[in-house]
Amino acid sequence: MLRVASLLLALSLAAPSVAEAQGADRPIRAGTYDLAITFGGGNLAATLVIGYKGDTVTAVLNLGDHGSPVSAGKRTGNKLTLEPTSPAVDVRYELEFNADEVKGTFKYDGQDGALTGKRRRQER
């Protein structure tokens, strides 16, 4: 019984808390953001999944059922640039995060667009 209690205590001390995972030095919160993208006179629904590998931000953008060929680029504070993963694709997103909200602009094939979004609540 004592061994089990000691193991549980050691695991609870070693596991990072949600607050640590978000961190004060991480103004860009990990999670899934539901986005509304305005482009070409219409609106598109999208999701943006933000994660971390160490101190490096990762980003996966999905437009409907399709992945977008972008990845996380330059990050400064609460601002993140998504850059193309292929030189054949002319797209760039400039995002600004504020707590659980994100807003930004992008340029795709020479045309401008905008987006807004909100981070999904974590179920416990």
Q: What is the pLDDT of residues 86-103, one digit of tens each?
A: 999 999 999 999 999 999
Of 2.40.128.120, 3.40.50.150, 2.40.37.10, 3.30.750.210, the CATH number of 26-119 is: 2.40.128.120
Spatial separation of the C-alpha atoms in residues 10 and 106, rounded to whole Å: 46
Name, in order, each residue with C-beta under 8 angstroms of 54's C-beta and a sequence gap of 6 or more. Answer: none
Average pLDDT over all residues of the chain: 83
Partners of 41 in beta bridges? none
- Check pLDDT > 60 for residue 7: no
pLDDT in tens, 28-80: 999 999 999 999 889 999 999 999 999 899 999 999 888 999 999 999 999 99
**Cα-based distances in Å from 34 to 38, 59, 68, 85, 117:** 13, 13, 15, 22, 5
User: According to the model, what pLDDT value does residue 81 have?
Assistant: 97
| Cβ atoms 50, 56 nearer than 8 A | no
Full-model pTM:
0.77
Sketch the domain layout of the chain as residue ranges: 26-119
- Check pLDDT > 70 for residue 108: yes
